[in-house]
Amino acid sequence: MKLATWNLERGGRTAKARAAQEEVLRELGADVIALTEPPATYRDGPGVVASAPRRAGPAGLESWAAIVGPTVGPLPFEIPYERMAVAARATVGDKRIIVYCAVLPWLSVTSHAPDVVRPGEDSLGAFRRVLAEQLRDVTELRERFGELVVWAGDFNQTVVGTTRGGSDARRGLLLEALSSLGYAAWNGSAAHASAEMCAVDLICGPRDQALTEQGRIDPVRAAVVMSDHAGYWVDL
C-alpha cells in the first residue's frame, strides 16, 4: 500500500504548475494521497474526501485538506473547519486503512488564517490547541473503527534537525503527541524543499509498522516550481 502527502499551495497557482502537479501525482500511482491546501478543483466526490471548502483562495473557497485515491470514501466522523483536517477510509486488496489528513498552525497563522485562531490566541497557543484536538480525533478514530489510522499532512514542524520555521516548543509538543499514540514520523528525516531542513509534511503511524520503501517528490520539475514543499510517500 503506497501512501503519499504533499502541500499544493505555493507554486500551484498557474496552469503550468497545476498540470505538472497532476502529472507527478498520476506517475506516483499512490493508493492514497493526503493533500494539504489543495486547489478548489478538489471537492467531495468519487475518490475524493475533502474538508469543508471555506478557506479563501485566489480561485474561490478551498479546503484545508483532501484525501484522494481510487478506493477513498467518507467516514461518519465530523471534524470542525477550524481543525483544518479531514478523515477518510480506503481499501487496498484485503487491507483497510483510515487516513487523517491535517494542517497544524504555522508561525504566521494569526495573520494568514485568523479564522482558525481563537481571540487572544498566539501562534504557539493555536498550535498547542489544534494539535491536542487532532490528537483526540486520531485517538477516537482508532477506538471507534479499530483500523490502522495514519496521520499525515503539513505539520509545519520538523521532528529532527533544525527547527527553523517552527520552534523547540512545537517540536516537543508534536513528539509528545506522537509518542502517546506509539507513532513515529516515518519520513521525518527526509529532506524538505529547503535543503537545510528536514520534512514538515509528515506521514505518521505505528512505530513498529514495517515499511518496504519510501521516497520524496521534488517540488521542481523541468524548471516548473510546483510547490514550496516537497512531497513524500511510503510503501507499507
Contacts for 173 with CB less than 8 Å, ≥ 6 apart? 127, 128, 131
What percent of the chain is helix, strand and coil (3-state, nearest 5)? 25, 30, 40
What is the average per-residue pLDDT within 95-118? 96
Residue 148 pairs with which residues in a beta bridge?
A: 97
Among 10-24, 121-135, 150-164, where is mean pLDDT lowest?
10-24
Q: At 64, is the pLDDT very low, low, confident or very high (cuts 50, 70, 90)? A: very high
Task: Quote the CA–CA distance of 69 and 66 in Å, as a whole number.
Answer: 10
List pLDDT tens digits, range 51-63: 999 998 877 899 9
Q: What is the pLDDT of residue 220?
A: 95
Share of the chain above pLDDT 70, in %: 99
| Average model confidence (pLDDT) across the chain | 95
Q: What is the pLDDT of residue 195?
A: 79
What is the average per-residue pLDDT within 106-118? 96
Q: What is the pLDDT of residue 11?
A: 64
Comparing C-alpha atoms, which of 139, 164, 134 is closest to residue 152? 134
What is the average per-residue pLDDT within 95-106? 97
pLDDT of 218 over the 90 cut:
yes
What is the average per-residue pLDDT within 163-178? 97
pLDDT of 50 over the 70 cut:
yes
CB-CB contact of 199 with 170 (8 Å): no
The pTM assigned to this predicted structure is: 0.97
Task: Quote the CA–CA distance of 6 and 202 in Å, as a whole number.
Answer: 9
Domains of the chain: 2-235 (3.60.10.10)
Q: What is the pLDDT of residue 14?
A: 84
pLDDT of 12 over the 70 cut:
no
Comparing C-alpha atoms, which of 100, 35, 37, 41 is closest to residue 68? 35
119: its cell numbers: 481571540
164: its cell numbers: 527553523
Contacts for 226 with CB less than 8 Å, ≥ 6 apart? 8, 11, 12, 17, 20, 21, 24, 219, 220
pLDDT of 104 over the 80 cut:
yes
CB-CB contact of 38 with 50 (8 Å): yes
